A and B are shown apart, each in its own frame.
Chain A
């Protein structure tokens, strides 16, 4: 089945009326996607540490159990840190959702096929690892109830069109990204 969803619209939808949502984005296209939706201090766009987006989300979710946490990452980034799904499945944070924007490609390196293009089913992996909810999304639906309310851990594998889009870059200074996130969340030091 050919994907019909467009990643920027999907991410914009996930982040619409975001309120106090804490957001982590994986290296590459999803970092540009969350920035295209509007740079925000309560977002942590990664420029490195490929494979760790879901684990950063877990650390954040455990540190802030009263806040909702959303990880938005790509299929290639998720595949590099696939074991995080098992670790999250053991911890079962109610406040965490991992959304994989799955274009079945490594978008930053020349659009080479990822394992999902060959049929690796990330949603099934998450389910098998103990996520409370896990599903493949291929049609335009409002996912905000899952992100903001549904007890997690939740996993969304969102199939999108493989497309090259203009880069929308967040600040690259990691210390600044951390500092502004912590200030917005925790207040002045």
Chain B
């Protein structure tokens, strides 16, 4: 059986995603590696999540569909520019690994983790949540079929990072 990152990569490929913006993240490690290794995709490493919204808008102007990978702690960085997706009718699938939930070892992650769904919703981005690994790829596939902006949140229990030691050894 494929892992969720492999399944998601397959869905991105099937939907013709040509550009994948990402901010490095332990939960997305495998998916980032798959996208970087795929010659049909250009994986663009960003310094901040906000850059990924501009990148996606430019890609869409140029006729290419894109996806954006981030951790929940970066969602707040995108809030103002998420408005671009609505005002300019730009489709984008944002895949978010959650922090600040069950099993979180870092209390500083909690406020943004708690606010993540609302931060997307106030800016008009559709939010879906995957609580189990097998739910991730179908939600991503559905988001990719739509012409609006979508965020798929992957619960922390799916990622399963429990301590600094485990995270840094991944």
Contact = CB atoms under 8 A, between A and B. Distances in A.
A130 interface: no
A55 B81 CA distance: 12
Contacts of B155: none
Interface in A59-98: 59-64, 81, 83-84, 86-87, 90-91
Given A49-B57, A60-B59, A81 B51 contact: yes
Interface residues of B, number: 31
Interface stretch (A104-112, A145-153, A160-168, A179-187): A179-187
Interface stretch (A10-18, A29-37, A170-178): A170-178
Contacts, number: 122
B80 A49 contact: yes
A48 B61 contact: no
A186 B65 CA distance: 14
B90 to A, nearest CB: 7
B58 A24 contact: yes
Contacts of B55: 55-56, 58-59, 62
A48 B63 contact: no
A56 B47 contact: no
A187 to B, nearest CB: 10
Contacts of A155: none
Contacts of A56: 54-55, 57-58, 61
Contacts of A47: 87
B62 A60 contact: yes
B45 to A, nearest CB: 7
Interface of A is mostly: helix
A72 to B, nearest CB: 14
Interface of A: 22, 24, 44, 46-64, 81, 83-84, 86-87, 90-91, 174-175, 177-179, 181-182, 185-186
Given A54-B54, A56-B57, 10 more contacts: A49-B57, A49-B81, A58-B55, A59-B19, A81-B51, A83-B47, A87-B51, A174-B84, A175-B89, A186-B63
Closest 8 CB pairs of A and B: A59-B58, A63-B62, A55-B54, A52-B54, A174-B88, A174-B87, A60-B58, A56-B58
15 contacts: A24-B58, A48-B81, A52-B51, A55-B54, A59-B60, A62-B55, A63-B58, A63-B60, A64-B62, A64-B63, A81-B51, A175-B87, A177-B88, A178-B60, A185-B61
Interface of B: 18-19, 42, 44-48, 50-51, 53-64, 66, 80-81, 83-84, 87-90
